[in-house]
């Protein structure tokens, strides 16, 4: 399992958000890893261990909604978070065209 995972659920239909491009950036804005969510809306990113520090997950949700002909307010969602010394970090995203929420998962 990757040190960092994410899961995107499209709340408008209660379905996984498939094919969303996700980028993991370090505190300086350098790209650490990229990928697209799978058929279950999940993705593991980055190396086996992320050094302690601040990171940002950038979710390209605009193209996801555009491909479904859905007008959306957010072209992207960026979630900043801090890594300490936990063995695993999970950052889920609950998404709709006009709102989103997130939390530290397990």
Query: What pLDDT, on the 0 to 100 scale, is given for residue 2?
Result: 65
Long-range contacts of 35-42 (CB under 8 A, 24+ apart): 37/6, 37/7, 37/8, 40/7, 40/16, 41/7, 41/8, 41/9, 41/10, 41/15, 41/16, 41/17, 42/5, 42/6, 42/7, 42/16
Per-residue pLDDT of 51-90, as tens digits, reads 999 999 999 999 999 999 999 999 999 999 999 877 889 9
Per-residue pLDDT of 29-43, as tens digits, reads 999 999 999 999 999
- What fold does the segment set 4-102 form as a domain? Immunoglobulin-like (2.60.40)
Are 52 and 83 within 8 A, CB to CB?
A: yes
Predicted model pTM: 0.94
Query: What pLDDT, on the 0 to 100 scale, is given for residue 106?
Result: 84
């Amino acid at each position: 399992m990757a040190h960092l995972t994410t899961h995107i659920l499209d709340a408008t239909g209660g379905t996984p958000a498939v094919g969303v491009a996700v980028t993991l950036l370090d505190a300086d804005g350098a790209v650490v890893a990229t990928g697209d969510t799978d058929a279950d809306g999940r993705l593991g990113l980055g190396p086996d261990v992320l050094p302690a520090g601040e990171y940002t997950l950038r979710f390209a949700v605009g193209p996801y909604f555009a491909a479904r002909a859905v007008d959306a307010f957010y072209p992207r969602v960026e979630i900043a978070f801090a890594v300490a010394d936990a063995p695993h970090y999970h950052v889920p995203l609950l998404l709709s065209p006009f709102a989103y929420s997130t939390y530290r998962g397990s």
